[in-house]
Chains A and B, each alone.
Chain A
Amino acid sequence: MSVSFNDIYHSNLKRIYNLALHYVQDITDAEEVTQDVFVKVHKELHTFKGASSVETWVYRIGINMCLDFLRYKNRYKRKAFLIPLFKTNSGGAEIPLELPDFHHPGIEAEHQQQSRVLYAALNRINENQRTAFILCFVEEIPQKEVAAIMGISVKAVESLLQRAKAQLRILLEKEYDFRRVRK
Chain B
Amino acid sequence: MPQITRLIQLIEENCREKGFSENKIIKIVALVQTTLKQGLPEKDDLESSLETIGALK
Q: Do A and B bind each other?
A: no
